[in-house]
Amino acid sequence: MARYDLLLADADETLLDFSKAEENALLGTAEVCGFSCGKREISVYSAANLACWKQFERGELTLPELRVRRFRDFFERCGIMGDPVRVSHVYTEALGQQGCALAGAAEALTRWEKRVRVLVVTNGISAVQRGRFARSPFPHLAREMVISEEIGIQKPNPGIVFEGMRRAGICDRSRVLFLGDSLSSDMQVAVNAGVDGCWYNPKGIRNTGVPVRYEVRDLDEVDDLL
């Protein structure tokens, strides 16, 4: 008998290659909007974007505010003249075209789905996340994603986990595993919801103190947990 009935999986850097998608989208946006973009600019934008998402997790920014704030901060740090509102629209559309998956994710997902129900639970912009999964090697996941923008609840609020369980028809929290790469978002939401968490930590970074039931370095290791 399987240990779990439901696997709730994060999207970015768990199944999808967000770093590659972000770089591709930013380069395309720079070309359309007419500003220079090299390795430095990509690094600065990535840091500004991550900081804004952390603020979103803590409830300090709304999603509409985040979408513009990250580009305003990026422009200020790089001395770029531009309209952050317009650039945000162009970037959002470009990012939604990026369906690149992490190496081995499609194969791992095929194995997992033979054992458990799999739903994606993600903090993100609906059009972006659905667009990316529709263009990914696993487009069927786009149909039943639980997306923070659509339900008005973001990780680490446990309500987003409970919505995933509701959609899957699962009531027993002991039968749910949450897989993700973020301690502050994915593992904390698992703690808050009272479900087991599996931290995907391929880079071997140090845990900052969030309780974690399992830790894996490779997606293939998840198979033994199911």
pLDDT beyond 90 at 1: no
Helix (H, G, I), strand (E, B), or coil: what is residue 7?
strand
- Tens of pLDDT, residue by residue over 128-147, are 999 999 999 999 999 889 99
Could you confirm whether 12 is annotated as catalytic? yes
- Tens of pLDDT, residue by residue over 19-72, are 999 999 999 999 999 999 999 999 999 999 999 999 999 999 999 999 999 999
Q: 101 near 135, Cβ under 8 Å? A: no
Number of CB atoms found within 10 A of residue 144's CB: 13
Rama region for 194: left / alpha / beta (φ>0; ψ in -120 to 50; rest):
left
Which of 5, 10, 17, 186 is catalytic? The answer is 10
Tokens standing for residue 125: 């912009």
CA distance 193 to 206: 23
* Adjacency order of strands within the sheet including 146-147: 146-147, 117-122, 6-9, 176-180, 196-200, 214-216
- Residue 1: partners with Cβ closer than 8 Å, 6 or more residues away: none
Q: 201 near 181, Cβ under 8 Å? A: yes
Class for the domain spanning 6-16+101-225: alpha beta
CA distance 137 to 100: 8
Which of 12, 17, 181, 196 is catalytic? The answer is 12
User: Could you state, in order of their start, the residue ranges of all structural domains in the chain?
Assistant: 6-16+101-225, 18-95
Could you confirm whether 10 is annotated as catalytic? yes
CATH topology of domain 18-95: DNA polymerase; domain 1 (1.10.150)
